[in-house]
Structure 1
């Protein structure tokens, strides 16, 4: 280090001064962006269909059908919906959601902040009509986002230990918590703006998921990395502590450009753990390939001046080569 300072004719004091100045401007730019985002006007209305249905009487069904036609398929007669009003399971679902979410005030604030960030980075995005529902714990479709509508199945966010989830595999139930709600919405958005790679290499797929997670860095700056990827705090710490070993495993086994589909099941798809076929498997969280892809995209953006929309269009190989990614030790 001293040789470098001498070569450039810089003292340690001078370098420290420049570092402070760079940090100051970086923080200033971040604060300026946050201020601009906070000024974006959002016309958000949350329609609590779950509460309306919970409080409805048979005479309300025609009105609800008129207001929410997409929630009442034509092939089902009114008698089915009337019977559901007094169904014990439906009543318990509604009660448990009400206990967990109450007036939905905090969640509404979180949604407003999320939509402000989305409008800042994707100006053409139109704020959808937000409707909260119960879905008979249909966790595979707990968030549905269309061009005009955002459906939120709140009965899928009652906490991993809720008795509704006893028959669900633990690694899935772990994600059924309200702390992941905005993260799931951001994931739904990312599927609309990030194109799945035509190149079927493992590296391309890792970077694809890395882009999704980097979108969350921008849209959800106030939540933890664990919430973004759907890990517990301990799982996040495990991934960070073992990043170098994970990367070495991928490189030494020449997996980066492999098109073997089973790598998805091992390292990308939701699973109780990643499958290195080693003793440490049971200690590891699932989806570690997504975590590595995330770090590659972060490394690229740290070294290259690109807007978010530009990043999303870039080829995975270009991102990887220009990232000069080095895993943390």
Structure 2
């Protein structure tokens, strides 16, 4: 028993030492990012300054849009109110800038050729599918979607969407947008549910290694703590349901709406549906990828991202335990 205990201690110490070596290397990576506050430049300007603002930020003014549209937006009471709310929360962005720079230190550790982008803060059209856009040299962040899930401006959004309009979701959203450029899409000829599960599992695994340790699993995937608890408590049942219904290698598009796409709940077509969080297939895919990396520690992140979904699944030894 004592020998077993010592082995556990040795493993923990080794794991912590390995982690600390990564963090020490990350600390040495120089990252300095410039922040451009476009929403301040626009909403703090006067109507007669519009031409100057357009000349300075041409990428934010599509050709063919008449100036009347921008002047209306600049002076409209609701837009002014939204800007005031954003300013109240994010007038000083230096804290978030530091967090994003720390994130990109981790990104550059695993992806050395990546160059840190310039950060652009904006106020957009409340498009929750484009909260953050990473495009090589630019990182656009729509601040109107990080005011807090219960904010009055979000009253028309269903709760399963507005629950992720929190400040803490900003960095996980940055990783999601970054992942879109480094996680290869499933092969054209692989339309299985498993391929989609592993694709999102890879994205979520990137959050494990890129985000700081104080981010919870709930924040990484955009669940509530209660939804994470439900997922863990029902992991065996979910997995058995997938296996018994032969879902993994099924190519029906219907399965995406049931288990992958953004939704208020997952669709097993059973009594538990309303208790379940949406996108449960993504969560299971995450557990498979985690299991693979635990059982194959010599696999690099780059190797993992390029690996076929079926190969990952078969080598993952993923087998959730039944809760007693």
The bucket for the TM-score relative to the shorter chain is over 0.9
1:105 matched to which residue of 2? Answer: 94
1:192 aligns with 2:185: no
What is the aligned counterpart of 2:38 among 34, 43, 49?
49
Higher mean C-alpha deviation, range 194-203 or range 273-282: 194-203
Q: CA deviation at 1:16?
A: 2.2
Q: How does 1:1-329 map to 2 (within 5 A)?
A: 12-198=1-187, 199-222=190-213, 223-304=215-296, 305-328=298-321, 329=323
After superposition, the CA RMSD in angstroms is 1.3
Q: CA deviation at 1:137?
A: 1.4
SS in 2 for 1:109: helix
Deviation sequence 1:101-128 (CA, Å, 0-9, x none): 2302221121111111111111111111
Q: CA deviation at 1:82?
A: 2.8
Task: Give distance in 2, aligned partners of 1:17 and 1:271.
Answer: 46
Q: CA deviation at 1:59?
A: 3.5
SS in 2 for 1:244: helix
1:3 matched to which residue of 2? Answer: none
Deviation sequence 1:30-69 (CA, Å, 0-9, x none): 0111111122111201111112222111243233222211
Q: CA deviation at 1:22?
A: 2.2
Task: Give distance in 1, aligned partners of 2:118 and 2:51.
Answer: 21
SS in 1 for 2:141: strand
Return 5+ residue gaps in structure 1 as ranges.
1-11
Task: Give distance in 2, aligned partners of 1:64 and 1:43.
Answer: 25
SS in 2 for 1:150: strand
SS in 2 for 1:151: strand
Q: CA deviation at 1:234?
A: 0.7
Task: Give distance in 2, aligned partners of 1:200 and 1:95.
Answer: 46
Deviation sequence 1:263-304 (CA, Å, 0-9, x none): 100000000000010111101100000000000000000011
Higher mean C-alpha deviation, range 66-75 or range 181-190: 66-75
TM-score (norm 1): 0.93
SS in 1 for 2:121: strand
Task: Give distance in 2, aligned partners of 1:73 and 1:246.
Answer: 47
Deviation sequence 1:182-239 (CA, Å, 0-9, x none): 1111001111111111211111111111000001101113311101100011111111
